[in-house]
Structure 1
Amino acid sequence: MTRPTASTSSSTRNFRRSKSASRTSASAVTSTSNQGRLTVKLKINRDKLAEIVTRGVSSAPKNSPAIIANNARIIAEDGMLHVATTDFQMQVEASGECELSRKGSTTVDAAKLKQVVDRLPKGADVTIDFDEAKFEMIVKAGRSRTSFPTLAAEDWPARQYKEDGATFTLDGADLVKLFSHTAQELSTVPNSAMQGVFFHVANGRLAAVGTTGMILIMSSVPLPEGAEDMPQDGSGRPGVILSAETVSQILRLFRSAEEVQIVVNEHSIFVSTPTTRFCSSLLLGTYPNYTPLVSNPCDTRIKLEREACASAVALLEPFALKDQGYRLQCAGSDEGFVVAVGSQTGGGVDVVEADINGEIAAFGLNGQFMKTMLGSFKASTIQMHPDHQNRRVLFQAEDEPSMIGVIGMMNISTEMAAGPTHD
């Protein structure tokens, strides 16, 4: 066996020292890299996370050409997790408590985030890590591990609003009363003022009105302090026009809230609770003057049970044709309130027991509008005021004075509803 020479031993020692120095140098580089690498780690219960994410991603666009606009902005700070989305017209941010090791922010795909969170085991503890160096967010629950690519929160298109204006509070029940029916039948004409809900002060109350021009529903609640300071529309009425999407979001987010703060200025509406903040742009324009339609009901009156009338309409509506405007023919008779329809596909007639005041000549009504109107009221008994002179039928209920509705009359071509004979 050949013994290593002194020169060989010296070279070996030099190589080992060089290798050791390289490892030390690499370790130092890694240490330096880790010091510059910022990570955020938080822990939260899956059910609480799901509730935050569901609210927070509700304004995310589905296929925006700006990729980051499809993302949810996530901010972790001061022991709170905030999730926000925007479609450039509306923005919502939901918040909740979490266990946090270091504050930070990022953005991830909103739709994928909701899908993943919804599929995590209920009740599980979830940890979320933001790795700003790798542009990655990792979600762990039990043995599952999901990785999301991220984009910088600084580039996310946050809406910048000046949150000032008329300030007042309502509860979720008031929001439901104001908006749940007034937004059902809105015009589909682009850029029409009737495409929105008129949220305004009327007759000393806070009111909401929705109309297509042929059906109108108005609901009101007592005027909260501060609402009278809302900006005025083009006709000088204190009020603003909200889009159908805005109304739907408000109901989705706040219908169960005990107290909601609302701020309205000439450009935007802000609605918030301690855990949810929502803002939206307003529709521009002057809302049609609807006051003559809901004022001065005529003396002719049909008083009947709402559910009985709804059943009659539901029975006959399938025979009402689209090309005839889903027209039902109505009239008063000695037997009660008559509803009829006839076409090549069949037809029928029904009579609803009613207390009738005055002579009720035959008139036509859109069956779909009639069904919507009857479904909007909750009172057991309603009153219809057919007004042939002004071509309208006004709906009221003594037990529900906060609601009023109007449907425009339609012409009829036969006398089918003028009082059929029943054996």
Structure 2
Amino acid sequence: MRATVERSHLLKSLNHVHRVVERRNTIPILANVLLRADGSLTLKATDLDLEVTETVPAEIAQPGATTVPAHILYDIVRKLPDGSEVSLDTGDGAQLEVKAGRSRFVLQVLPEADFPELTAGDFPTRFTLAASALKTLIDRTQFAISTEETRYYLNGIYLHIVNVDGTPMLRAVATDGHRLAQAQLGAPDGIDGMAGVIVPRKTVGELQKLVEEPDAEVILEVSDTKIRATLDGVVLTSKLIDGTFPDYVRVIPQDNEKILKVDNDSFRHAVDRVSTVSSERGRAIKLALSDGRVELSVNNPDSGSANEEVAADYATDPLEIGFNSKYLLEVSDQIQSETAEFRFADPGSPTLIQDDDDANALYVLMPMRV
């Protein structure tokens, strides 16, 4: 294999594919990226659950393929000067020579034949989404994905179709048992009949990094076991989580009648300031609601106490309730309008949080004792 490729093209592609490769691998070939030169240069990386392929323009002097350590190649290309032309040459096939200007590197290779393929199979559901719409679904829900491996079915975003007042919607939901995030948009053409699927946390993170251009479009294909996303020459294929997502609708409160409306920016900054003295373990913060205001307070025997008052629209019975301050901040970060709306029932029941201007997103927080 002998190919020449512009450094910026190679770096952008390696940036996409090398992230899939785990830093520690018991299987040597999984630490490598596959390079295939045939008309253009194709790069592929996999961890056996997730595979990313990207094609970049290149001058191919001799077609061929090999695999080299992904993170080393990425670091080499990243450190080369802007505007470099990078030459890739396998010579007799035992090593890969990487040259740019006066720089020369020789890397150990493993044969292409050892590189595993993630068998895609058929994808009965195929639809197109604006990259900005997919990014919004991910941004609004990703923070609530569980990291607890024992409940593996919560380790991703649940994508499914729902009917809202007769209108089909594509809905994304994530929860870790302490908080829940839900976002939705009008169902795109071609999505009819799609079964609900759980997209793994790592795949969600890679998708989020790929949808950088808001004007681009993403082709999504879904089967019972896999999802594939195609965007600007990048193809991401991933296994889905084989599990049943819980009936999340049951935990979304319907009759919370104590309504607090507060300037989201002021509230977020107040939570951030007051939580400075909260304990790392619990991060507990108390909200005391009374007529026209909400008082935030933290009392930590190890470091001290703090309190701050924020003006609010609240005209119901006084209420004291505690939350994890980190969870409050993460929800506040997703509120796009000036006003956040909180709906409470009592100190021991879930609280519903909504964006005053966006009916397509909602958040649920479980309270904690303070």
Same fold (TM over 0.5): yes
Correspondence for 1:11: none
| Residue 227 of structure 1, CA deviation | 2.2
- Residue type of the partner of 2:127? F
Q: Select which of 122, 127, 132 maps to 2:87.
A: 127
Structure 1 residue aligned with 2:78: 118
Q: Does 1:228 align with 2:186?
A: no
Q: Secondary structure at the match of 1:63?
A: coil
Give the aligned partner of residue 64 of structure 1: 25
* 1:274, distance to aligned residue in structure 2 (A): 4.1
CA distance, structure 1, for counterparts of residue 119 and residue 367 of structure 2: 46
Match of 2:356 among 398, 402, 407: 398
Amino acid at match of 1:71: N
The aligned runs of 1:248-327 (5 Å cut-off) are 248-256=205-213, 258-294=216-252, 296-322=254-280, 325-327=282-284
SS at match of 1:352: strand
- Give me the whole-angstrom Cα distance separating, in 2, the residues matched to 1:390 and 1:326: 17
2:253–2:351 contact (8 Å) kept in structure 1: no
- Kept in 2, the 8 Å contact 1:167–1:263? The answer is yes
Residue of structure 1 in register with 2:339 after alignment: 381
Q: 3-state DSSP class of the match of 1:383?
A: strand
Alignment match, 1:30: none
1:300 Cα deviation after fit: 1.6
Report the Cα offset of residue 61 of structure 1.
Answer: 2.0
TM-superposed deviation, 1:295: 5.1
Cα separation, 2, equivalents of 1:205 and 1:164: 20
CA distance in 1, matches of 2:295, 2:363: 20
Q: Is the 8 A contact 2:348 2:368 kept in 1?
A: no
Look up the match of 1:212: 176
1:53 aligns with 2:10: no
Larger fraction in strand = 2
Aligned residues: 363
Q: Deviations over 1:57-105 (max 9, x none)?
A: 2211222122111111001112x11111111111101111111123211
Choose from 121, 132, 136 the match for 2:95. Answer: 136
Give secondary structure in 1 for the equivalent of 2:197.
strand
Deviations 1:161-210 (A, max 9, x none): 11412111112211221112412133232141222211112232111111
User: Counterpart amino acid of 2:288?
Assistant: A
Partner of 2:139: 180
Find the partner of 1:146 among 98, 105, 120: 105
Which of the residues 136, 146, 158 maps onto 1:198? 158
The aligned residue for residue 19 of structure 1 is none
- Matched position secondary structure for 2:314: strand
Residue 245 of structure 1 aligns to which amino acid in structure 2?
K
Separation in structure 1 between the aligned mates of residue 122 and residue 79 of structure 2, nearest angstrom:
37
Q: 1:211 to 1:123 in 2, by over 3 A?
A: same
**Which deviations, in whole Å up to 9, do the C-alpha atoms of 1:350-378 show, x marking residues without a partner?**
22111114224211111111111111211
SS at match of 2:192: helix
Distance, in Å, in 2 between the alignment partners of 1:227 and 1:390 is 39
Q: Structure 2: how far apart are the matches of 1:297 and 1:259? A: 39
What is the identity percentage for the equivalent residue pairs of Structure 1 and Structure 2? 24
Pair 1:156 & 2:120 matched: no
SS at match of 2:149: coil
CA separation in 2, counterparts of 1:99 and 1:287? 48
Contact 2:292/2:314 (8 A) holds in 1:
no
DSSP-derived class of the 2:143 partner = coil
Gaps of 5+ in 1: 1-39, 232-238, 413-423
Structure 1 residue aligned with 2:287: 330
Match of 2:63 among 83, 86, 103: 103
Q: Is the 8 A contact 1:294 1:404 kept in 2?
A: no
1:360–1:386 contact (8 Å) kept in structure 2: no
Deviations 1:226-246 (A, max 9, x none): 223222xxxxxxx11112111
Give the TM-score of the pair, scaled to structure 1: 0.82
Determine which structure has more spread, i.e. the larger CA radius of gyration.
1
Q: Is the 8 A contact 1:300 1:360 kept in 2?
A: no
Deviates most, 314-323 or 55-64:
314-323
Q: State the distance in 1 between where 2:43 and 2:22 align.
A: 15
Q: 1:67 to 1:360 in 2, by over 3 A?
A: same
Distance 1:320 1:148 in 2: 50
Q: 1:295 to 1:169 in 2, by over 3 A?
A: farther
CA distance in 1, matches of 2:285, 2:150: 31
Query: Would the aligned equivalents of 1:303 and 1:355 in 2 still touch at CA under 8 Å?
Result: yes
Aligned to 1:241: 198
Task: Give secondary structure in 1 for the equivalent of 2:20.
Answer: coil
Q: Tell which deviates more after alignment, 156-165 or 86-95.
A: 156-165
Q: Segments of 4+ in structure 1 off by > 4 A?
A: none
Provide the C-alpha distance between the structure 2 equivalents of 1:228 and 1:49, rounded to a whole number of angstroms: 38
SS in 2 for 1:229: coil
Residue pair 1:303, 1:381 contacting (<8 A) in 2 also: yes
What amino acid is aligned across from residue 69 of structure 1 in structure 2? L
Moved more, 273-282 or 287-296: 287-296
